[in-house]
A and B are shown apart, each in its own frame.
Chain A
Amino acid sequence: MNNSNSIDETANRRGFLKNIAASVVAAGALAPVTLSAKDDPALIEEPEWGKKLGFPVDATPYGQPSPYEHNVIRRVHKLLSSGDMYASVAMCPIQDLSGIITPNGLFFHRSHGGAAIVDPNEYRLVIHGLVEKPLVLTLEQLKRYPSESRIHFIECPANGSTEWRAPQFNTLQFMKGMMSSAEWTGVKLSTLLKDVGIKPEAKWVLAEGSDNSHMGRTLPVEKILDDAMVVWAQNGEALRPEQGYPVRLLVPGWEGNLNVKWLKRLEFGDKPWHAKEETSKYTMLTPSGKAIRFFWPMEVNSVITSPCPDKPWTDLKKGDIVEIEGLAWTGQGTVKGVDISFDGGKNWVEANLKGLVLPKSWTRFSYMYKWEGKPILLSSRAYDDAGFVQPTIDQEVKVMGVEAIYHRNAIVTWEVKANGEVNNVHIRS
């Protein structure tokens, strides 16, 4: 039915409704209702919630999603933990998300020793090492600095790590759910450090958290002064404990692990530290037997979110026009475009970007497609303004092998079957 407001149209619709009423026999509260097979009771009958009071405005001082959305939650898998649910990851249900912002309760949660509950009154940030004037700040003092807000994704470099050898998960949540996106608010480190004064011999910074794992990671001073921030807010409210309440480091576009949570210390030095997550883990072993030591940015990447194994096309009829929608992202700049293939990567067409297109951010893409009910192999391939293109599986494996664990960004392909079911497949030589 169209949305025309013309008088003729309205008159016709009135006539149409009259006819329905006649066949239904006065759909009043007390009158019996006779439905024809075609009539939808959801339209004819007054629903339960229209016949009673809803919940009062003071029932949920902190609002909750509809109980009907109880399946839209973070999920875990034993294989992705290091022994228990303290050093583990809870995956974000990206198949159920819209736009480019993740609600705080659904933001993926990776911790190395559980999520610390830090007392904000005892929070201190210490900046020391090769600086002119070491500094200690309370939370109140930190939040006095002028703030900026930026929308950035955070992605664990192990996102998609189960796919190196072969396809293993048939759900978007576990293929790509080790990432989420938020609007972060805090102070840019370039602003915070101006009075501290970094000494010229300082090349590196150790960022350290105050949680059980005392996570330490080394960053180059260049990044700290470029766009890194110390943030205290996420989507308008204080950081959640699992995102490092009260303060985390935000390193736009870089490995999630570098965005150190529960941040307590920044030490400047002339050499890199080689912390546990720069040696025993978060290093990428290649077929040469040697490992890439540091790999900071998350590379250009994309995935089609509709359809996907969780959101198939089983309800579509042949000839339906349907939107193919997806997420593209890059930590190395801004998404410039996305191509789509219907034949497993042999031929490609350009999709359209939509909504906000921001640096180091999730970007939505869209393509209108006529579904013919014939099997297709649906892939997306993003490229960015750094000049980099998402690789095929063969291209990436040729250089990286299958033991790198981290930084897998190869093209994802969905097998859409004639009945609309969707499966995760690999295109491999």
Chain B
Amino acid sequence: MFTLEVKKISKVVALTLFAVTTFVNAGDVKDVKGPSFKERAIDGSVEYKVKDNSYAGVYKVNPQVAKEKIKYGRTPSKTEIKAGDIDVRYDWQGLPDGKGSVAKGDELFEAKCAMCHGDMGSGGKGYPKLTGGDITTLKNQLVHPENGDEGPERSIGAYWPYASTLWWYIKTGMPFPHPMSLSNDDVYAIVAYLLSVEEIQIDGKDLDDDYVLDKKKLMKVVMPNVNGFYPDVNGKDGPMVMKKFLSDPKNYGTPTKRCMKDCPTAKVVHIKASLNDGITPPLSEKRDMPKEKKSAGGDNKFAKLYKAKCSACHGNDAIAPKVGKKDSWADRIKQGKDTLYKHALKGFKGMPAKGGNADLSDADVKGIVDYMIEQSK
């Protein structure tokens, strides 16, 4: 193995390497040989080839396949391609037209986002906190929380390198239970609102309530942490930059030597507070017959509808009264079913009409309310 690799490099280098290897092998540290940079794949790994009808020497391959040009399917129309092309690249390729004001965004955020992301995106509901970070905290390392160490705050304004991600994320992934339901104008409005909360400026100006964001203005946004990421892959040789980065394990704390004897060691740290208690279902290595499951009405139609349409919020007490949590429901159940039906159908506080599920019939909504009450008594 070693001799083979030596042959591939120049004599001078080979001699030096040989000397070094001999030296370290004589001690208690072993070098682990890797391929030359040229022989590495784009991720710094070994690049395996097909040779003698065998891939990497372990999988047989049919040599006929490589000789054929195979084609099924058809060419999609321009309209078909455009309909599915929903991404927005960092250089704004793919950003559609539209406009929306900060005030409109505030209204939409309150109605469609705040129940999970908190007021003004401040978090506290178990879902990601979006706003209120500080770029100077990114150097923080939360090593000793018990000593009051604070961690980095990765909010949109403090961490995200590009505003394009914000538009793309909201359009195709939000609101969480109903993605792809916001119009482009609504997305512009919510983006405007979040940029305004994060105190991002456009043309040196704050985004106040009546600021109207449109495509041209959004494309001017430079996020504060735009230079906070490495390596720089945006140039023409981006993939090659990555290959260099990944081929040098020093970049990520990976050694290339195996210490075998009298290696530096350190002290033993035990678990202070085990997280095992929160595991669901609890851990067990028992081999026994399962206990009979209690029927929780989990098979009926409304249980299924609840799970599919309502549990994203009603499964989390920080957002909405959690189904099954008696304390959260006692006072509500006292108000009577008619009131709860009304709230569910027409909306109430953070709860949108039908929970935002316009496709549900009134009868289904009532059935789901009955199920939720039944489960929470």
Question: Chain A: residues with CB nearer than 8 A to chain B?
Answer: 67-71, 73, 75-79, 82-87, 95-96, 112-113, 126, 128, 133-138, 141-142, 144-146, 148, 150, 162, 165-171, 173-174, 191, 194-195, 203-204, 206, 208, 212-214, 216, 220-223, 226-227, 253-254, 264-265, 267, 269, 271-276, 279-280, 283, 285, 287-297, 299-300, 310-311, 330-334, 336, 339, 343-348, 356, 358-360, 377, 381, 383-391, 394-403, 407, 409, 413, 415, 423-429
Residue of chain A at shortest CB distance from B31:
A387
Q: A403: which B residues are within 8 A, CB to CB?
A: 140-142, 151-152
B199 on the interface (CB 8 Å rule)? no
Question: Which of B90, B159, B270, B316 interacts with A271 by CB under 8 Å?
Answer: B90
Question: Which of B35, B75, B160, B267 interacts with A387 by CB under 8 Å?
Answer: B35
Q: A174: which B residues are within 8 A, CB to CB?
A: 275-276, 279
B266 on the interface (CB 8 Å rule)? yes
Q: B107: which A residues are within 8 A, CB to CB?
A: none
State the main secondary structure of chain B at its contact with A.
Answer: loop
B236-259 interface with A by 8 A CB criterion: 236, 238-239, 242, 246, 249-259
Q: Are A296 and B142 in contact (CB under 8 A)?
A: no
Contacts A67-B290, A171-B276: A407 and B268 contacting too (C-beta < 8 A)? no
Q: A395: which B residues are within 8 A, CB to CB?
A: 253-255
Q: Are B228 and A289 in contact (CB under 8 A)?
A: yes
Q: A77: which B residues are within 8 A, CB to CB?
A: 275, 278-280
Q: Are A150 and B311 in contact (CB under 8 A)?
A: no
Q: Are A75 and B238 in contact (CB under 8 A)?
A: no
Q: Are B283 and A128 in contact (CB under 8 A)?
A: no
Contacts A135-B73, A396-B253: A78 and B278 contacting too (C-beta < 8 A)? yes
Question: Chain B: residues with CB nearer than 8 A to chain A?
Answer: 32-35, 40-48, 56, 58-59, 61-62, 65-66, 69-76, 80-81, 84-87, 89-91, 93, 116, 125-128, 138-143, 145, 151-152, 154, 156, 159-162, 164-165, 168-169, 172-173, 176, 179-180, 228-231, 233-234, 236, 238-239, 242, 246, 249-276, 278-281, 283-290, 311-312, 315-316
Q: B154: which A residues are within 8 A, CB to CB?
A: 280, 285
Question: Which of B180, B250, B270, B273 interacts with A425 by CB under 8 Å?
Answer: B270
Q: B230: which A residues are within 8 A, CB to CB?
A: 290-293
Distance A243 CA – B255 CA, assembled complex (angstroms):
33
Q: Are B80 and A297 in contact (CB under 8 A)?
A: no
Q: B264: which A residues are within 8 A, CB to CB?
A: 429
Q: A409: which B residues are within 8 A, CB to CB?
A: 254
Which of A135, A299, A333, A394 has the most C-beta atoms of chain B within 10 angstroms of its own C-beta?
A: A333
Residue of chain B at shortest CB distance from A280:
B160
Distance A274 CA – B66 CA, assembled complex (angstroms):
33
Q: Are A167 and B164 in contact (CB under 8 A)?
A: no
Q: Are A85 and B265 in contact (CB under 8 A)?
A: no
Residue of chain A at shortest CB distance from B43:
A297
Residue of chain A at shortest CB distance from B249:
A388
- 7 sampled A-B residue pairs with Cβ under 8 A: A113-B176, A135-B75, A204-B239, A267-B87, A280-B154, A291-B138, A429-B267
Q: B229: which A residues are within 8 A, CB to CB?
A: 279, 283, 290-293
CB distance from B246 to the nearest CB of A (A): 7
Q: Are A220 and B72 in contact (CB under 8 A)?
A: no
Question: Which of B32, B139, B142, B253 interacts with A397 by CB under 8 Å?
Answer: B253
Q: B58: which A residues are within 8 A, CB to CB?
A: 356, 358-359
Given A136-B73, A226-B42, A346-B263, 17 extra CB contacts under 8 A:
A67-B290, A68-B288, A79-B275, A113-B173, A136-B80, A146-B62, A169-B276, A212-B176, A253-B45, A280-B156, A293-B229, A293-B233, A296-B43, A299-B252, A388-B254, A389-B255, A401-B141
Distance A296 CA – B272 CA, assembled complex (angstroms):
33
Q: Are B89 and A75 in contact (CB under 8 A)?
A: no
Q: B278: which A residues are within 8 A, CB to CB?
A: 77-79
Q: Are A343 and B265 in contact (CB under 8 A)?
A: yes
CB distance from B188 to the nearest CB of A (A): 18
Contacts A339-B260, A407-B252: A276 and B165 contacting too (C-beta < 8 A)? yes
Contacts A220-B42, A220-B239: A292 and B252 contacting too (C-beta < 8 A)? yes
Contacts A136-B74, A168-B271, A223-B42: A389 and B231 contacting too (C-beta < 8 A)? no
Distance A274 CA – B70 CA, assembled complex (angstroms):
32
Q: Are B253 and A145 in contact (CB under 8 A)?
A: no
Which of B228, B229, B281 has the most C-beta atoms of chain A within 10 angstroms of its own C-beta?
A: B229
Q: A292: which B residues are within 8 A, CB to CB?
A: 229-231, 251-252
Distance A285 CA – B35 CA, assembled complex (angstroms):
29
Q: Are A75 and B252 in contact (CB under 8 A)?
A: no
Q: B274: which A residues are within 8 A, CB to CB?
A: 168-170
Q: Are B84 and A264 in contact (CB under 8 A)?
A: yes
Residue of chain B at shortest CB distance from A359:
B56
Give the 4 A-B residue pairs with the shortest CB-CB distance, closest first: A387-B34, A399-B253, A83-B127, A332-B45
Q: Are A265 and B179 in contact (CB under 8 A)?
A: no
Q: A346: which B residues are within 8 A, CB to CB?
A: 262-263, 265
Distance A346 CA – B259 CA, assembled complex (angstroms):
9
Distance A95 CA – B32 CA, assembled complex (angstroms):
29
Distance A136 CA – B284 CA, assembled complex (angstroms):
48
Q: Are B81 and A347 in contact (CB under 8 A)?
A: no
Q: Are B286 and A71 in contact (CB under 8 A)?
A: yes
Q: Are A208 and B87 in contact (CB under 8 A)?
A: yes
Q: B69: which A residues are within 8 A, CB to CB?
A: 194-195
Q: B172: which A residues are within 8 A, CB to CB?
A: 213-214, 216
Q: B176: which A residues are within 8 A, CB to CB?
A: 86-87, 113, 212
Question: Which of B72, B75, B80, B255 interacts with A133 by CB under 8 Å?
Answer: B75
Distance A83 CA – B48 CA, assembled complex (angstroms):
41
Q: B59: which A residues are within 8 A, CB to CB?
A: 148, 150
CB distance from B12 to the nearest CB of A (A): 21
Question: Which of B32, B283, B290 interacts with A388 by CB under 8 Å?
Answer: B32
Q: A135: which B residues are within 8 A, CB to CB?
A: 73-76
Distance A262 CA – B120 CA, assembled complex (angstroms):
33
Which of B80, B87, B159, B312 has the most C-beta atoms of chain A within 10 angstroms of its own C-beta?
A: B87
Q: A397: which B residues are within 8 A, CB to CB?
A: 253
Q: Are A285 and B138 in contact (CB under 8 A)?
A: yes
Which of B161, B253, B269 has the most C-beta atoms of chain A within 10 angstroms of its own C-beta?
A: B253
